[in-house]
Chain A
Amino acid sequence: MKRRKFLKAAGAGVATSGLAGILATHRAPVFAQANTVHILRWNDFVPAADKVLREVFAPEVAKALGIKLNVETVNANDLPARATAAIQSGSGPDIIMLLNNLPHLYSSASVDVSSLAEEVGKAQGGIYDPSQKLNKVGGKWVSMPWSIVPALISYRESWFKEVGAKEFPKTWKEYHEIGKKLKAAKRPIGQTLGNTFGDAPTFTYPLLWSYGGQEVDAKGKVTINSKETIESLAFMQQFWKDAHDEGGLAWDDSNNNRAFLSGDISATLNGASIYVAALNGADKFKTEKGAPLHTDIRHAPLPTGPKGQHAYHTAFNHMVMKYSKNAKGAIEFLRWAHKKENYDKWFVVQKGFATGPTSVWEDHPMWKQDAVMLPFKSAPTMQTRLMGYAGQPDKRAAEAWNKYIVTVMYANVAGGKMKPEESAKWAASELGRIYR
């Protein structure tokens, strides 16, 4: 009796691969006939946008081009793992969404989309310069920019007015003064300095640049340990203690949203998702006076430092994978999706959280609907620098970005772990190992 079980188990080993093989081949013919495109994206911070992809784009592109669109979304943090496994094993989604300068990292696994990019750029007033640099390697387009999520400071207008700021502070020094008063009134500024991809580097990199600091020079020599960097670190150290919610060291990209929506902080750097959430939950999120929270929210760019005003906005790009068996279909889908009448449907549901990759979307009538969202309209044009400045946003810059070196440099001083000089030195040695 048991012998049969044993033999069954041994036989099962053969049967499984056989069975799987049968199942696989059984499926293959069915899908080979349809023109399938499997796209892997992040769980959009605006859930309605994913719905548009699944419920509007999918049926419409099936009708228009006969393409069967398979939309898969995962947590943004898990995208690199999926991409790595797919590239290494040579099979997976046809299109993978890649943030920031990841295209540089995976460029060898990409299909050239230069014709698509140039077509869209020409038709829509030109692709923003940062997106160009992020998606082009060696003069060729390795991926197609899809959208940009600008990061601006969301702040409580009434609270700022109460401490004497009629409009949002223009310089870091002013912001520091106002922040001190706000924190004294138990309404600190909230900023994440944790290992998180969205709100941390979009703060620390521009801060560094606005003081004149940089990771490397144009030749790739590490120059982060400089007078300017140390100045910005010293500033941050004081600024953090005087004006910030010190729990921010443990925050990820969602903590500041929650803290702001529950009235615990007065300002934070974020995408438009806080305002959008307040709009959508007007009955849930109220000010201490009982009014809907969204009536008190305004947006402003980061303040100016001694050496200028800078910004970093998260770029979202689509890469068509070399291993894909339907690269042609994938590019056709993207071409279709970028057409004004189609992209428009995705764009409006974002309500300004994400802007298009080209300047034509700045003229969209949607921007006229809500003055509070206006600062997001042209935010991408304010970005002039990318990671790896003053060098290129290449693989090494991507490594530094993913190791959170610049963010950790600031977190070290904010948490009191290191003095500014020590932290700058630490960052230099870490970058040195990458840029050797």
Chain B
Amino acid sequence: MKRLLENEKVLATALLAPGVTILVVFIAYPFLMALWFSLTSISVGDPGEFVGLDNFQRALEDTIFQTAFKNTVFYTFWATIFKLALGMWLALLLNRHFRFKRVVRASMLLPFIVPTVLSAWAWRWMFDPTFSVMNWSLFHLGLIEDRLPFLSSGDWAMWCAVVVNTWRGMPFFAITLLAGLQTISTELQEAAALDGANAWHRFWHVTWPLLLPVTLVVVVFSIIQTFSDFQLIYVLTGGGPANSTHLIATYAYQVGVNSGLLGEGAALSLFMFPVLFAVVWVQLRYLKRMDVR
């Protein structure tokens, strides 16, 4: 046994076996089934017939899908930028020594810990057209005359979703970037300071390049999660008002499950794939380059 495991190939197979088995049984096989669904007119209880790329064609012509696609890109783009910027800023702040450092660091993670559906309900209550605490505050501070249409206007609602997603995801960025920051020795920073660089310079020319690998990992992961996000919009707006805040995942769900059109729903979901694949591919190429170096 011992000698067998010395062989790289055998060891590799043994190590990969458990993970790959689970993935094959519970992802690869269902995925192929879902792929098959997307090529048929299957609906609940009715296997339908093969229709080729018909479902994909219909999706491209669907105005609601076009909106959903645009929304998903908008949502992912802005949320990622905010999460990165704010996460980085927060990481820099948390990197210093101050009283209650431990408590603050731990508490910053809370938005990330609480299940999305639950915190989304809390936010929904805070944005509620009739009971919003924010409207109450702004009104009583004299800053607004009429309430802000947080979730009742399509544009506002998308921005609200971005805010909630940023709130949720920023801690993850912050903590991971913080860990990365801690590996950058302070001597480098001091050397740069002695050379006359100010804080911004130090950040941009010393810190940022060294953090790039960690940043890339976190950003890619976040893009994947955000692009395929479902729970947040489902709870916050349900895709409304007037189907204007649908994301690809929520619209696919509405078509596939609520209307029973499984084939069309599967096709809609699969549109996420090319984008995510491209993102992952870029990251893989980068990892490979790091390897060679």
Contacts and interface: CB of A to CB of B under 8 A. Distances in A.
The answer on direct contact between A and B (beta carbons under 8 Å) is yes
Contact of B242 (A88, A196, A402, A411): A411
A43 interface: no
Interface string A236-264: 00000000011111111001001100101
Given A249-B241, A411-B242, A105 B154 contact: no
A194 B241 contact: yes
A195 B130 contact: no
B289 to A, nearest CB: 33
Contact of B152 (A109, A247, A426): A247
Interface string A1-20: 00000100110010000000
A408 B245 CA distance: 12
Interface residues of A, number: 47
Interface of B is mostly: loop
Interface stretch (B178-186, B215-223, B258-266, B279-287): B258-266
Contacts of A430: 63-64
A426 B244 CA distance: 14
B129 A194 contact: no
Interface string B61-72: 111100000000
A45 interface: no
Contacts of B241: 193-195, 249-250, 411, 415
A91 interface: no
B87 interface: no
A264 B64 CA distance: 33
A109 B257 contact: no
A87 interface: yes
Contact of B130 (A84, A247, A415): A247
Given A108-B45, A250-B152, A433-B62, A398 B239 contact: no
Contacts of A429: 63
A415 B242 CA distance: 9
Nearest to A247: B129
Given A87-B45, A248-B152, A264-B130, A403 B18 contact: no
A408 B243 CA distance: 7
A27 interface: no
Contact of A108 (B46, B64, B147, B239): B46
B259 A402 contact: yes
Contact of A193 (B130, B157, B242): B242
A80 interface: yes
Given A250-B157, A417-B154, A430-B63, A105 B44 contact: yes
Interface in B14-33: 14, 17-18, 21-22
A433 B61 contact: yes
Interface residues on B, range: 35 or more
A235 interface: no
Contact of A195 (B61, B150, B152, B239): B239
A222 B153 CA distance: 29
Contacts of A193: 241-242
Contacts of A426: 63
B293 to A, nearest CB: 32
Interface string B133-174: 000000000000001011111100100000000000000000
Given A399-B259, A403-B254, A417-B154, A109 B238 contact: no
A81 interface: yes
Contacts of B111: none
Interface string B173-198: 00000000000000000000000000
21 contacts: A6-B14, A13-B18, A80-B257, A81-B257, A84-B44, A87-B45, A196-B238, A196-B240, A245-B129, A247-B130, A249-B149, A250-B240, A262-B131, A398-B259, A402-B258, A403-B255, A403-B259, A408-B243, A412-B242, A415-B154, A415-B241
